[in-house]
Structure 1
Amino acid sequence: MNIMKINQHTKIAKLIQHNVQSIDAIASIAKPFQNLKNPILRKLLATRVSIMEASKIGHCQLSRFKEVLEPLGFIWEDAEADVKEESPLPEPDWLAGHTIQDMDVRPMIKAGNDPLKDIITAYKNLAEGEILCIINDFNPFPLISRLEKMGAKSYIKKVEDELFYCYFLKAQQLNEPEIQKSAENPAFISDVDFIERLEKLDPEKLFSIDVRELPMPQPMETILAHTANLKPDEVLFVQHKKVPLYFLEDLASYKLQVYISEFKANDVKLLVSRLK
């Protein structure tokens, strides 16, 4: 077994790079870590978050990480001293003199709900020059990246160990074509959006496969075999038991666009087409 020494300051990305099984192991600790199974969120979250920061996100003890990671070949060694935190950045000039709308998402997260959609809606409803302040008990790294892509300016203020004020200034309204151009690939969408997109497709240009009962690695092989001859105006509808991580992480080399939705446990659906 390949051994790696870790501590509370080790980045989640380092764990995954060393052993991909750590994704499922960490996801089993708490509901927020299920996001690690989403390739997009994993790229946003894992590269920036340490084990200690993740424990705050999941409201769990560091010992839980030790319990699930040691069987995978990780050796836990507590850091002798905490890594010195960077000095807080000065407040930006734009924080003063603008209307600020507060949004405390802690109750939603505590109830097990994902506040992302509500946050995005609240940000979109801002007038240019207004500020949305997200109140949270951890630094929401993925949210920062998401809103900055929409033109937001951000400033994170750590009030105390488990209290963060996250300010987002709506400084620029991106038009619809720009948003479409910067869309993520793969695009994770809701089941409702997925069905609507599916129903708009030309049945004569739509091909379906079901890989749910195939043993590994046949699902990926089957998808690749069917996409190899796809024409630019054709779409492959795939029914899968889980998110095909390895396939999604190498989309650029396949030159494919993928829309994906997790309808329920063991029911994942994909729409795959050629990049135009």
Structure 2
Amino acid sequence: MPTPETSPIRELDVRPMLQAGEEPFQAIMEAVSALAPGESLRLVAPFRPVPLFSVMANRGFAAQDRALDSGDWEVVFSPVDDVQIEAGLTAGSSPSAAFWAEPVQELDLIELEPPEPMVRILEALEGLQPGDVLFALLAREPVFLFPELAKRQHEWAGNFDASGTAYRLLVRHGGGRAHG
């Protein structure tokens, strides 16, 4: 596994965006999508971007952060070995999913058009207790749902069925606890 010191690093400074009143999340996700295999992302921000840590962990990146002398923060997101890909799960799936309880609720959302599946999943999660698991069947991989789940501190694991026509998603209610 490459370490942050040995892997190539792409840099993104979001301070100018934030100073201009812009939301940098999309630019960060675009930078991550543009990374080559094994490449890391060095992010510079005016604060420690804690919510981004779980988003990036779900995408297979470990975070190393440090405060800069200026009061700003530097975070290097480096790719980690993805054993869950070998297990057939989508990159970013929680490695602990194999140990979760059986789902307490199941949703068949395969006939719905976006954003309705995401809305229904988030609504259903509001009614669940910490640790409860939700299962959803979708027509496509819910890529826009993953950052929303991370913001709410929920974990997820998913993959396509054998035919490749349905995406199976498990979501574990995080209970609003921060993951460290």
Q: TM-score, normalised by structure 2?
A: 0.49
Pick the structure with more helix per residue: 1
Bigger radius of gyration among the two: 1
**Whose relative contact order is higher, 1 or 2, with alpha carbons under 8 Å and at least 6 apart?**
2
